Structure 1
C-alpha cells in the first residue's frame, strides 16, 4: 500500500504545475499542507538559476549561474549552476523537520518539489526525507527526475519503494492525470490503496 505520491518526468514537462494544481484541489478539503517547490529564476529572458519557494511564500536561493564563495572550501555545482547549500538548508530543513502529525493528529501533506541533484548535496536534507518516508503521519507529494546518467541513490530508492506511487508525467498526460494524482494523495491520507 502506497503512503507517498511522486511525479517524475523530463525537465519542463509540467511536474511543478501539476503539484500546484493538486494543491489547489486539496486545499478545499480539510488537509494540512506544507512544503516547498523549486522555481526558475530568469533575467532578461535567460534562466540564471533556481529558487526554493515555501508554500507560505518564503523564498531562498537554490542556485545561480557562475561562481560564489565556497562553503567550507567546497563548491557545490551542477553544470553551470552553483548550489547555495546554506540558503537551501535554512529554508527547507525546518519545514521537513516539522512535517509530522499536526496538533490534531490528522495526517498532513508535505510537498517536496524536488528531490534532484542540487538538493541531494545536503546530507541533512537526505536524512529529513528518509525520516518522513519512514514515518506514518505525513504523505509526501513530491517530484523526482527521470533516470539520466549516474543514478541518484535516494531518487532510485524512492522510485523502487513499495510504499510509493510514482506517476510518469508526459506532454500527453499532464492535463488528464490531475484527478488520478489527487485521488492517490487522498487515498494515502485515508490509509487506503493509492
Structure 2
C-alpha cells in the first residue's frame, strides 16, 4: 500500500498540494478520484468551505459562516450531509474502480460524518494507493491511524506545496 499523508498549519498549502497531485497523476494517465475542500469567498471574505468531487467537479457547501445546522465547528455551521452527498460517493466509486484516492481533508468538519469515517477506514483496509491531508493539530483515532499507517508523511510549510505535490505524486506512482 502506498499511503501519503500531507499535513501542515492552516493556510500552508495542503489543499493546493493535493490538487496538484491530482493534476500530475492525471497528466500521466492515472485515474484519480475523491474530493477536496476549498474556501468559498464573497467580497474577499471567507464565507465557508465547499467540498469538490474529483474528477466530476460537483460542489456543495460543507460549512458556512452564519449558516444554520445542528453541527458547528468554530464560527461555521457544518453540513455533513453535503459531504455524504457529493464527496463520499465519489470516494466509494473511485475505490470500486481502482482509482488512486485523494482526500482533502480529514479534519474536525469531515469527522462529524460517521459515513466519512467508515469510508476512509475502507480505503485503508483496501490498501489502495491514496493521499490524504490531515488537520495539523486534530487528534482523532482515524487521524492517528492515517499518520501511523503512512508510507510517506509530508509536512507542508508555506511556499512548499509544489515540492510536496511532486514528492507525493512520485510516491503514489511507485
User: Under a length normalisation based on structure 2, what TM-score does the superposition of the two structures give?
Assistant: 0.91
Q: Does 1:17 find its partner at 2:16? A: yes
Is 1:33–1:111's contact at 8 Å kept on the other side of the alignment?
Answer: yes
How far apart, CA to CA, are the structure 1 residues paired with 2:163 and 2:57?
Answer: 28
CA distance in 1, matches of 2:159, 2:19: 18
What residue is the counterpart of 2:65 in the other structure?
A: 65
Q: CA deviation at 1:101?
A: 4.7
**2:144 is aligned with 1:159:** no
| Rounded Cα–Cα distance in structure 1 between residues aligned with 2:161 and 2:29 | 25
Bigger share in helix: 2
How big is each residue's C-alpha offset from its partner over 1:122-159, in whole Å with a ceiling of 9 and x where there is no partner?
001100100011103x32222001125xx222111211
Question: Contact between 2:60 and 2:82, CA under 8 Å: does it hold in 1?
Answer: yes
> What secondary structure is seen at the aligned counterpart in 2 of 1:94?
helix
Native 8 Å contact 1:99 1:132 kept in 2: no
Q: Matches of residues 18-37 of structure 1 in structure 2 within 5 Å?
A: 18-37=17-36
- Backbone CA RMSD of aligned residues: 1.7
Other structure's SS at 1:143 match: strand
Pick aligned residue for 2:121 from 104, 125, 130: 130
- Residue 172 of structure 1: CA displacement? 5.5
Distance 1:43 1:173, change over 3 A: closer
Distance 1:94 1:117 in 2: 20
Give 1 or 2 for the bigger CA radius of gyration: 1
Question: What residue is the counterpart of 1:86 in the other structure?
Answer: 81
Determine if the alignment matches structure 1 residue 170 to structure 2 residue 157.
Answer: yes
**Residues 1:88 and 1:57: Cα distance change in structure 2 (over 3 Å):** same
Alpha carbons of structure 1 residues 101 and 90: separation in structure 2 relative to 1, 3 Å: closer
Q: Extract structure 1 runs of 4+ deviating beyond 4 A.
A: none
Q: Secondary structure at the match of 2:146?
A: helix
- State how many pairs are aligned: 173
TM-score by length of 1: 0.82
What is residue 186 of structure 1 aligned with on the other side?
A: 173
> Unaligned regions of 5+ residues in structure 1, if any?
188-194
Q: Secondary structure at the match of 1:27?
A: helix
